[in-house]
Structure 1
């Protein structure tokens, strides 16, 4: 599997791997690193679990492991270990953007909208103080 842009580096994997549960049960588990990359892909993109690319394994495996590890506290241990490994120098930036709906962007310039019937434009209607 080739390393992709946002997947775990070897250093990150060396920090995380010892923290993962290692209780072998009947059937061998899908590769933890591959599943973690799938979980991180889903969290980063915000898409539905069902849209996880096939290279990360079955979406149900990623979802089930995410939920089980959340209940077991595995994620807390991972976050603490990664923070220690980077000595608090890890920074995250939220790059969300909020866009206007396509129909909200077509208002004509210079046109004032009238308030709904029964709505007053007096400051006292909004609970402003000193509106006499």
Structure 2
């Protein structure tokens, strides 16, 4: 339990704190029509819990309501841009407070897979000695095994 705003509150692991809830509450869409729906904070806590724990929708705890309700609300908010709006607002506030460093680093490293790792056709461009299996190396120190002998690894 922590003292928050003059009252004691319990913050469960993987749930939104009061400060986080106050940040996102005005960004959530309001539903004025239809029947009374499950509290947005409970639903959002269920969605946050699902993604922070990596569990399946059907395994979300019942204290957050029906998993189908959580999934439906998640899809609706994702489709209408609610989550993107939350991200943009968080970035704007953090940038205004000087908490964002907009330096971007791009890695242009290319890693190529061996032809066999990419599902190449069998019997494609293999050499005759590599199809016969591992052979003893004639040049390396000791009895190291290579596929196809020393010609398979040009230096």
* Comparing 20-29 and 78-87, the one that deviates more: 78-87
1:41 aligns with 2:41: no
Unpaired segments ≥5 residues, structure 2? 1-8, 101-130, 135-146
- Measured against aligned partners, the alpha-carbon deviations of 1:46-85 in whole angstroms (never above 9, x if no partner) come to 1110111111111111100111111101110011222333
State the 1:3 CA deviation: 2.6
**Which blocks of at least 5 consecutive residues in structure 1 are unaligned?**
91-116
Number of equivalent positions: 102
CA RMSD of aligned residues (A): 2.5
Q: Highest relative contact order (Cα 8 Å, sep 6+), 1 or 2?
A: 1
Structure 1 residues 75, 62: CA separation in 2 closer, same or farther (over 3 Å shift)? same
Task: Give the TM-score, by structure 2 length.
Answer: 0.57
The structural deviation recorded for 1:119 is: 4.2
Whether the 8 Å CA contact 1:15–1:85 is kept in 2: the answer is no
Under a length normalisation based on structure 1, what TM-score does the superposition of the two structures give? 0.65
Q: Which residue of 2 aligns with 1:70?
A: 78
Deviations 1:15-57 (A, max 9, x none): 1111111132211111001100000100011111011111111
User: Hey, which bits of structure 1, 4+ residues long, moved more than 6 A?
Assistant: none
